[in-house]
Chain A
Amino acid sequence: MDNLIWIFISALLVNNFVFSYFLGLCPFFGVSGRLETALRLGLASTFVMLITAICTWFLNTYILIYAPYLRLISFIVVVASTVQFVEMVIKKFSPALFKALGIYLPLITTNCAILGFAIFSTNRGYGFGEGIIFALGAGGGFTLALVLMAGLREENELSSIPQVVKGTAMSMIIAGILSLAFMGFSGLFSS
């Protein structure tokens, strides 16, 4: 049980996917303009991670032991089809949410946080339960990062800053400062 809590906290805060592994930066900078879309994208990504966790566990246990070189290709196919599946389900049951997410939904396929998650959990040899907890932690951490960044950027829009700093350069430096703050969490487990 301790182990599971450790995995969750570690993925959520200490080794946050965005701030310490640099995963999922494209949506992090692309979608963090507004708070609401950021939250929704974060939740959709978490859901895809959960399904990916289940699928990769099956693949790893039953198929990939016979053909390890197919790992990457099969993972990306799993991610792509999960995204497609989620897209269809959301379209069927909640057209409003589907419209709100728009182009960001298919783009989850090329979100490196998802594939990175699958590769990390395989490299660390996580079992089924650990994989699920890791998915929740990593997805939660990604959502947290997106929401924090979106909140900061909304404020930033209103402040008067020199023209030359506006845009990505400013976001990058804000991300650096946020990442500095998240480094503080690494003291959580040292004692």
Chain B
Amino acid sequence: MQSTTASDEFLKGIWKENPVFVHVLGLCPMLAVTNSAINAIAMGLATFFVLVGSSTLVSLFRNLIPRQVRISCYIIIIATFVTVADYTLQALVPVVHKELGAFVPLIVVNCMILGRQEAFASKHNVKLAVADAFGVAIGFIFALFILGGLREILGNGSLFGISLFGPNFEPWVIMLLPPGGFIMLGLILLFFNWLKQKKDNLVEQLATKELV
């Protein structure tokens, strides 16, 4: 029973409750760094590390942290992990770290992370909290990758820096600029809405059929 619940928590974060496409959380880093697939992945991995680390700690200390000051405690735990991630990226991949710039420290105020601590990790045991953090973080990386990949393909004609269409491709530069980020995410959300509506219609049709 325990293991199925853990895997449920894990899977739920990836698709059904995807933090970006369904809950529309963590938008700031999402849009700012997704002008290329590689930046998106680096940001995703940093967020993954911070989310899993802080969920583990918060879940371990959940009985020790007084309710009144819990938010401050979570923020300080998160800030510690972000500092570690920031310095690690700087040491390992200085080029990517420079591209991401101020957005690595800004992981602290990613509402998705604080949201998971408040809504999940502070109420469940370590195993479930870690499973949930893994799911949500992978869902986040997935969303970042989709957005970053699409923007890089359209705006630069390449993926991970490898040219896809040959020299005759006229890049759609606006996709790499801020407006492109908003519009592309809007279109993706539209697609998800459309999927949901289609599914709802189908369910309704089936229900009426059964009644008849």
Contact = CB atoms under 8 A, between A and B. Distances in A.
A and B interact physically = yes
Interface of A: 19-26, 29, 69, 71-73, 76-77, 80, 109-112, 114-116, 119-120, 123, 163-165, 167-173, 175-177, 179-180, 183
Given A72-B82, A169-B193, A80 B102 contact: no
B182 A179 contact: yes
B30 to A, nearest CB: 8
Residue with the highest number of chain B CB atoms closer than 10 Å, among A24, A80, A110, A163? A110
Contacts of B27: 22, 25-26, 29
Given A71-B105, A109-B71, A120-B102, 19 more contacts: A22-B28, A23-B32, A24-B28, A25-B31, A69-B83, A69-B87, A73-B80, A77-B72, A111-B109, A119-B102, A119-B105, A163-B197, A168-B24, A168-B189, A169-B189, A170-B186, A175-B186, A176-B181, A177-B183
28 contacts: A22-B181, A23-B28, A23-B32, A24-B28, A25-B27, A26-B27, A69-B87, A72-B83, A73-B80, A76-B75, A77-B72, A80-B75, A110-B111, A111-B109, A112-B106, A115-B108, A119-B102, A164-B193, A164-B194, A168-B189, A169-B187, A172-B183, A172-B185, A173-B186, A175-B186, A176-B181, A176-B182, A180-B179
Contacts of A72: 79, 82-83, 86, 105, 108
Contacts of A20: 178
B203 interface: no
Interface residues of B, number: 41
Contacts of A112: 28, 106, 109-110
Nearest to B82: A72
A103 B109 CA distance: 17
